[in-house]
DNA sequence: TAGATTGTTAATCGATTAACAATC
DNA sequence: TAGATTGTTAATCGATTAACAATC
């Protein structure tokens, strides 16, 4: 028996999917859903890449991390590839989700059809505002009543929810986060501008509605600077 | 006179800020705003990095692309660094913004305080729904009336807006995008799930409210797979 | 001066890309 | 078989990191 060489990397050692690839899978998934709805049966890497806004080389590389699900000379079966991507992302199982903070943003999130269609089922809506508690919100065709935040523990317990969404004002976010973590939520999506402290083992992702706007402003500014420079030069 | 070596890279040839760095500037900006509000005068790279959730080496590298705004042995003046980051992002100038689609999400965006405080001023709210047109929305302390989408051209013309936000349902997004582009909007922030076609020269960034949730599900699934593997092994 | 912290260097790591062998 | 397209390779590129010289 010979000595086997050490694995090149610790992180992506065993069949792991690179972060950059995981970040693009939702986009591929969305494009395939659209194609599937149109009745498309087969798709080439060139076509799917074009629809997703990436290069075909990148697309094929990304898909190769999931497995070998295409046919050389032919392409990919839309339904089959769709299923494999959904499976890789974890969308073939049901994920009970609780949402806290039912203002405008919370309503928008609760009503977003893209959640239900991807296996996320909203099992609880919570707020602390007495004017909002008791309100009925229609989520994926079903009516859900907004409950007081104090009811969160029993809902998490009874539904086994592990994912929580924070759509509260800034100053409430950390308390809500702590409450979620204490009650067994292990993945948190945070729409409040605050950076939240979570214990090790809990995943937190933050979506700042203003970040992309600032990046647009950066590019817009650069465009006009370049225009000015060229005007002076020419 | 000697022959000078060719520049290493074409893209970042002349003082350009790397994309990865630009993506983190809004976060540094936010942390500095918080510190400034607390009356903090000086901050070290270690402290700001900790607050921003990055390593201090990465933070110093990022800041070094903007210029040399710290003092060795001392740290960074909060107000000064805040200004320099704002300036790099383009936030020291006023950006008139139009928002189309004033449902729950549009309301949430229009009411988001983080827009006004960063130099974005909402100069127009538009919808096609006759039940929404005429509604008054309070934006940054001022009342704005929702107008019919057909009024967008004159508002863009009179305000010089170059940034547009799309918060419509999926099926309206491309038409709204085309209308914006025809009328001189050159940067678009798209909250509809659709990938939009824009002509060359127009910047488009898309925020999918479900993407991060899917990435969370991916990691959550992986966590439970690991837990199962370990349980079987041990 | 002694202590502290920046700004920069160089090594490493991960992501992207083009090209093409494999194979339908 | 001829044509098409995948899956993989290897080169390149960009981002991250640790270490430390510069300097307050």
In this predicted model, what pLDDT tens digit does every residue of A43-88 receive, in sequence order? 999 999 999 999 999 999 999 999 999 999 999 999 999 999 999 9
Q: Which residues of B touch A211 (CB under 8 A)?
A: 23, 26-27
CB within 7 A of strand C: which residues qualify? Answer: A 9, 11-12, 18-21, 54-55, 57-58, 60-61, 71-74; B 44-46, 56-57, 60-61, 63-64, 68-76
Write out pLDDT tens, residues B51-108: 999 999 999 999 999 999 999 999 999 999 999 999 999 999 999 999 999 999 999 9
Give me the mean pLDDT over the A165-183 stretch.
97
**b (16+ CB within 10 A) / e for B100-115:** bbbbbbbbbbbbbebb
Residue nearest D7, CA–C1′ metric:
A64
* Dihedral of the alpha carbons of B50, B22, A203, A14, in degrees to the nearest 10: -110
Q: How confident is the model at residue A7 (pLDDT cuts 50, 70, 90)?
A: very low
Mean of per-residue pLDDT scores for chain B: 92
Q: Rounded mean pLDDT of chain A? A: 92
B76 reaches A (C-beta below 8 A): no
pLDDT, one tens digit per residue, over A118-132 is: 999 999 999 999 999
Topology of domain A9-89, CATH = Arc Repressor Mutant, subunit A (1.10.10)
pLDDT for the residue numbered A10: 36
Helix H or strand E encompassing A20: helix A19-37
**CA–CA distance from B91 to each of B14, B22, B48, B86, B157 (Å)?**
22, 13, 20, 5, 22
Strand D proximal to A70 Cβ, under 7 A? yes
Query: CA angle, corner A139, sides to A138 and A142, nearest 5?
Result: 70
CA gap B112, A57 in Å, rounded: 39
Residues B186-213 have pLDDT tens digits of 999 999 999 999 999 999 999 999 999 9
Beta-bridge mates of residue B164: B98, B188
Identify nearest nucleotide to residue A22 by CA to C1′ distance.
Answer: C15
CA distance B213 to chain A (A): 7
Name the CATH superfamily, with its identifier, for domain A95-210.
Answer: NAD(P)-binding Rossmann-like Domain (3.40.50.720)
Nearest by CB to residue A208, choosing from B26, B52, B119, is B26
Q: What are phi and psi of B212, to 5 degrees?
A: -65, -30
pLDDT band at A105 (very low <50, low <70, confident <90, very high): very high
Between the CA of residue A230 and those of A224, B139, B185, B200, what are the distances in Å? 10, 37, 21, 18
Which sequence spans correspond to the domains of chain B? 9-89, 95-210
A21 CA – C23 C1', rounded, Å? 26
- Is pLDDT above 90 for A228? no
For chain C, which bases have at least one atom within 7 A of a protein Cβ? 3-9, 13-19, 22-24
CA A216 to CA A221: how far, in whole Å? 8
Helix (H/G/I), strand (E/B), else coil: B210: coil
Q: B63-98 as b/e, with b when 16 or more CB fall inside 10 Å?
A: beebeeebeeeebbbbeebbebbbebbbbeeebbbb
Which of A100, A118, A91, A112 minimizes the C-alpha distance to A185?
Answer: A100
- Judging contacts by C-beta atoms under 8 Å, the chain B residues touching residue A47 are none
pLDDT (0 to 100) of residue A170: 94
Q: What is the pLDDT of residues A192-218, one digit of tens each?
A: 999 999 999 999 999 999 999 999 999
Query: Taking 90 as the threshold, does the pLDDT of residue A1 lie above it?
Result: no
- Alpha-carbon gap, residue B233 to B125, rounded angstroms: 59
Q: In angstroms, rounded to a whole number, what is the distance separating the alpha carbons of residues B30 and B86?
A: 10
Residue of A nearest to B202 (CA): A220
Instruction: Say yes or no: B109 contacts chain A, CB-CB below 8 A.
Output: yes
pTM score of the predicted model: 0.93
Residues 6 or more apart whose Cβ sits within 8 Å of residue A183: A152, A153, A156, A157
């Amino acid at each position: 028996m010979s000595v086997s060489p050490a694995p090149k990397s610790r992180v992506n050692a065993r069949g792991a999917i690179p972060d950059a690839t995981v970040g693009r899978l939702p986009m591929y998934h969305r494009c395939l859903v659209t194609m599937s709805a149109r009745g498309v049966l087969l798709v080439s890497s060139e076509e799917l890449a074009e629809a997703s806004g990436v290069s075909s080389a990148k697309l094929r590389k990304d898909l190769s991390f999931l497995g070998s699900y295409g046919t050389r000379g032919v392409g990919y079966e839309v339904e089959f590839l769709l299923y494999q991507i959904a499976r890789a992302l974890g969308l073939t199982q049901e994920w009970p989700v609780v949402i806290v903070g039912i203002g405008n943003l919370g309503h928008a999130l609760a009503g977003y059809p893209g959640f239900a269609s991807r296996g996320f089922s909203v099992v609880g809506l919570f707020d602390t505002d007495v004017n909002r508690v008791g309100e009925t919100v229609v989520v994926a065709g079903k009516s859900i009543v907004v409950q007081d935040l104090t009811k969160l523990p029993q809902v998490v317990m009874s539904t086994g929810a592990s994912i929580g969404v924070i759509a509260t004002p800034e100053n409430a976010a950390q308390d809500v986060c702590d409450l979620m973590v204490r009650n067994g939520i292990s993945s948190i999506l945070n729409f409040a501008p605050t950076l939240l402290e979570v214990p090790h083992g809990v995943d937190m992702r933050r979506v700042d509605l203003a970040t992309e706007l600032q990046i647009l402003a950066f590019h817009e500014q650069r465009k006009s600077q370049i225009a000015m420079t060229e005007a002076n030069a020419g």
